[in-house]
Structure 1
Amino acid sequence: MGDNRPVTLHLVIEAGSTAAPYEQLRAQISEQARSGALPVGYKLPTVRGLAEELGLAPNTVAKAYRALEGDGVIETRGRHGTFVAAAGAAAERRAASAAQAYAEEVRRLGLPRAAAASAVEEALRAVYGD
């Protein structure tokens, strides 16, 4: 039997954050979509509606939506709106492709495997903040 709980998009834009508002928006929607808090097919608010709700410029929301669409997290269906896409598999394919390209590049550069892995770990630490 399906889950009948209402789905709510929960977004908080922190003015004092070092992350730009569009990046905060992108990250929060992405996380909620990937965690299942926003199910596949969930209709997102319009750009103007969300901008108004969050007190952001419409261009800020549009930039986040474009980035999310590029990441395969959401899809725009013309006048029908913007929806959460089935992004899990697409994200994994893109990550695998990026990893393959990285591996080929570091091999061309002559870096040993340990140095290549160390570079990835450092980059992940910088991005994830741990």
Structure 2
Amino acid sequence: MDAQVTPLLARIDARERELGTAADQLRTQIDELAARLRELDEEIGNLAVTRKTLLALPPTAPDPADPPPVLPAHPAYQQILGAFADAAGPMRARDLCERLDLAVMPKNIESTRHKLKRLVSLGVLAEREPGLFARRRP
């Protein structure tokens, strides 16, 4: 074999070993990431089932010993409750803005959403799914 070719072949062999080692390391990382991804997908699926189960549960009746919630004094809360009394079903903050003749603008929607969340925390309304509000069932 030619004296010039032998060193080149040795360098090619060394480079092939380096690339093979790097490829093996990447395959190991891919396998680890794929396993982690399967775990996360399974957990996401479990959470979806849990959410569906919780939403299917009948609402609990309020304890008669509990005092009724004290509503905020601001008249907007009375307007919101009036709109829900006439509503056929659940509403989003945007729907409520339209029903209350508020300009459908981000600040009005966010303000309404905040009030709806407060009424949920007081036990007056229920949030059936994220962003969808309805009267609490008796």
TM-score under structure 1 normalisation? 0.35
When normalised by structure 2's length, the TM-score is 0.33
